[in-house]
Structure 1
């Protein structure tokens, strides 16, 4: 089906293991705090984030055709997840929507919809990601100051405004604040230090947070128990199986579930396809990942994640970049990172619970900044208002309402600019003076495709020619199709021009009628 042998899905390479094994360790160290942080920001159980990373590594990577892609919980879905859990009222209902979203992605892959990303304006997609970044920052501000976790998630669907307001309504824990801001400094400056930057910055953040958490004990900077990660301790097989949450299939006919499912499927697919495109660009071997197969892999992964109580997943650029930079060669690096996450959950949960939320908040603040950095706004403004306005409006609507509304409004605004450009690009007019007298000649050249959308601007242009224009040439020799409405405008203008004594010439102005049944050619008037 996908142009490769099914047996290759799980085929491991001993030759590449010397590259993939160390790369998998690096990816694991980057993924662990991200999985926890994204689950925290999504208002989901922390184990759900780890479970999603495990499935993204072991299941998705074994099916995906991308050699470097790493899948797991994505920062770009946190707004949707948090709002959807609140909207649906129960986590069991939400994960049913994740299962359905996986089925939709599977179908999209089977029908070869891997090019779906090309049909969304890039300005809207970038605006969506920037808005998610801003929302993540707003949501993490309370946690950065060590405020009660319950306050951190009291914000309207997609906005985060109330979460920001809560920062002035609660007392600050300075120990958590110090951990967060020192962690931010590490994330910003550590990658710039030669030699040391081989150690992943998120790992340094985790170690720093754990160390300061111990150092602050018994002082005025001591952290409270609710300032630390708290995943269940697994001491038996029964404990392990008890971690899983299963969907409430009685809600299968709930309309809201299907709305959430389609939202997750579309946004997750777009984010995955964008990530795959970016990952292929940084691949040293410049391999091309099959997008349809990737959608199938993501669909299977989300079905499995939702069924076991995990979060929706995508291919994520941060972990994938870490994989490429660490020298990963094949899919087995991503698969092994999923295995290490599973081992960590089973073997060292007590160590994971030593990680303070302040460090995770710093990672998410840094992630949010990278999604919405000022350079992006400058870049979009430099592309022109037709790109910047849909971009900015998408951001504003997402931040103050919700993601789906924001994307919808953004697409409408971008479509307006596309239609506006189309209306003006369908023709070109050139007015030049005659050499023999004081009059001018207007030459209106039509493009290859002239639709009914171009009727109004062409009509306006023809009937508002300068008064010194006495000769008009309408040239359609390049046109493959001219809409009948436009032909009628030209015919009416022809009669109007003749009645005023103007010279008008119609050169090869034709249109196709009733599925090319016949062509009509306007009479040339000299």
Structure 2
């Protein structure tokens, strides 16, 4: 695990700076204590990072669960009651892992996974524009199109135009310039620029800028445009920030419904993220999905027991880890320790980091996920790949993560059905005069009830007094629905004087007495 520490340590610093505001923002968007987001980030990094089989995945509180958490806290009668559902949800995830449910993620098309990554990249950029220009009414981490404050993604951006903070914008532009210069020029000039990462330099300059300009000058940055970590006055106040589940409500059926919802949504988000990060990984490591569910379940049990939000593997942090050169799980674990140490030792210093600098870091992350060249690449692959990809992207941008993925998957399934309808058979007509010609129909290797319409249409259009050669030599599976259609057609064929020659690996049968009996023997 320590073999690539020179790669993992700088990557963990970048992930730490990306994770810190997201942990706080997701907690705020969820209506939960701010400290709960940090707990989830720490547990996701240290516990899940250690147990996971993923080399580059990073776990923590997820924006996709914010709406569920917000609703559940109110309906269950308080945060301590909600924590019971988090613990139970983790136990259900452990059961999913033991039942080998991790294969579910493999049933999502590649076009939908790529659309998910691109959509998240666009959302990251759009959601960080207000923070970049110093308009922070909307909490970071609120990744849905319709926000908890009644605004939407684009109305928030339009409001930014009238609420630009000069200081935030200046240091945001400086930070973005440093990041671009570092990644495109300086990182190729020497090892020192590879060891010291651009995001760290941008954050340090942001802190210096705030200290020099203050918060009450024209070029200064006011406190609402800075990171906001809870600052305990002593150890007792620090420990007082932890919450513990109220197991007295475990008999409430609504607790169990919420627990199952958390387990299902968190597992799905994790499996999709695993699939996506494995695609992004330049070294193409394959994450064991069942082990990942066990790791996530353990993380959620521990997070719920000490007052943390639900945890999933998160694409924003994972992609930042990959793009920063992370090679092993050490980067995820160390980022968790950085979160823990920082909130204990230097919360005051963290609260001097401008959000606009962190927005600049996320701009780079978002752009690398949603490169324009990817749209061109998907277009070249044809409409069967491009349409589900585009629907997923638009669905995520204009609704939320799970709805967007669901829309893309639905379109992908429809396309499969269309192609299955078209490819159930091959029809070849011999002879110039169709009335005198021979018609050959070759059935595909697998023919299911999806193909009923196409085959029925072709059979009904056969002319009277013709010869149909039905070739089933390549057919390995023939649905009973199709056999019944052929059985019914044999009766119509006699009425229309159509001769049927059935060609199979056992020979040729002319006008078989019963297709049902024939295929029963063939099977």
Deviation at 1:385, TM superposition (A): 2.3
1:355 alignment counterpart: 353
8 Å Cα contact 2:424/2:443 also seen in 1? yes
Q: Does the residue aligned with 2:119 lie in a helix, a strand or coil?
A: helix
2:176 alignment counterpart: 184
Unaligned runs of 5+ in 2: 507-514
2:477 alignment counterpart: 481
Q: Does the residue aligned with 1:143 lie in a helix, a strand or coil?
A: helix
What per-residue deviation string (whole Å, max 9, x for no partner) do you get for residues 39-82 of structure 1? 2442536544443332233212332334x3352337xx324325
Q: Does the residue aligned with 1:233 lie in a helix, a strand or coil?
A: coil
**Residues 1:260 and 1:209: Cα distance change in structure 2 (over 3 Å):** farther
Q: Does the residue aligned with 1:221 lie in a helix, a strand or coil?
A: coil
What per-residue deviation string (whole Å, max 9, x for no partner) do you get for residues 374-413 of structure 1? 3333333333323332333333334333433333333322
What per-residue deviation string (whole Å, max 9, x for no partner) do you get for residues 464-494 of structure 1? 35x6994321111222332333223223434
8 Å Cα contact 2:126/2:153 also seen in 1? yes
8 Å Cα contact 1:20/1:329 also seen in 2? yes
1:81 alignment counterpart: 66
Deviation at 1:225, TM superposition (A): 1.4
8 Å Cα contact 1:104/1:265 also seen in 2? no
1:52 alignment counterpart: 40
* Distance of 1:245 and 1:357 partners within structure 2: 27
Q: 2:401 aligns with which of 397, 400, 403?
A: 403
1:12 alignment counterpart: none
Deviation at 1:36, TM superposition (A): 1.6
What per-residue deviation string (whole Å, max 9, x for no partner) do you get for residues 138-186 of structure 1? 3322222212x33457989543563432444442101111222332333
2:512 alignment counterpart: none
* Distance of 2:326 and 2:137 partners within structure 1: 39
The answer to whether residue 114 in structure 2 is matched with residue 126 in structure 1 is yes
8 Å Cα contact 1:48/1:311 also seen in 2? yes
Deviation at 1:125, TM superposition (A): 3.3
Q: 2:199 aligns with which of 184, 202, 205?
A: 202
TM-score of the two chains, using structure 2 as the length reference:
0.80
Q: Does the residue aligned with 2:229 lie in a helix, a strand or coil?
A: coil
What per-residue deviation string (whole Å, max 9, x for no partner) do you get for residues 472-522 of structure 1? 211112223323332232234344444444443122399xxxxxxx96128
8 Å Cα contact 1:441/1:469 also seen in 2? no
Q: 1:521 aligns with which of 493, 499, 518?
A: 518
**Residues 1:167 and 1:399: Cα distance change in structure 2 (over 3 Å):** closer
**Residues 1:313 and 1:504: Cα distance change in structure 2 (over 3 Å):** same
Give aligned pairs, total: 490
Q: Does the residue aligned with 1:462 lie in a helix, a strand or coil?
A: helix
* Distance of 2:505 and 2:458 partners within structure 1: 17
1:95-494 superposed matches below 5 A: 96-147=84-135, 149-151=136-138, 157-159=144-146, 162-169=152-159, 170-193=162-185, 194=188, 195=190, 196-217=193-214, 219-247=217-245, 250=249, 253-254=253-254, 257-258=258-259, 260-274=261-275, 277-278=278-279, 282-283=282-283, 289-315=287-313, 331-332=329-330, 334-433=332-431, 439-465=436-462, 470-494=466-490
Q: 2:500 aligns with which of 500, 504, 519?
A: 504
**Residues 1:171 and 1:328: Cα distance change in structure 2 (over 3 Å):** closer
8 Å Cα contact 2:12/2:321 also seen in 1? no
**Residues 1:111 and 1:400: Cα distance change in structure 2 (over 3 Å):** same
Deviation at 1:85, TM superposition (A): 2.3
8 Å Cα contact 1:474/1:505 also seen in 2? yes
Q: Does the residue aligned with 2:137 lie in a helix, a strand or coil?
A: helix
Q: 2:10 aligns with which of 22, 26, 36?
A: 26
Q: 1:71 aligns with which of 32, 54, 58?
A: 58
8 Å Cα contact 1:53/1:71 also seen in 2? no
The answer to whether residue 21 in structure 2 is matched with residue 37 in structure 1 is yes
Q: Does the residue aligned with 1:115 lie in a helix, a strand or coil?
A: helix
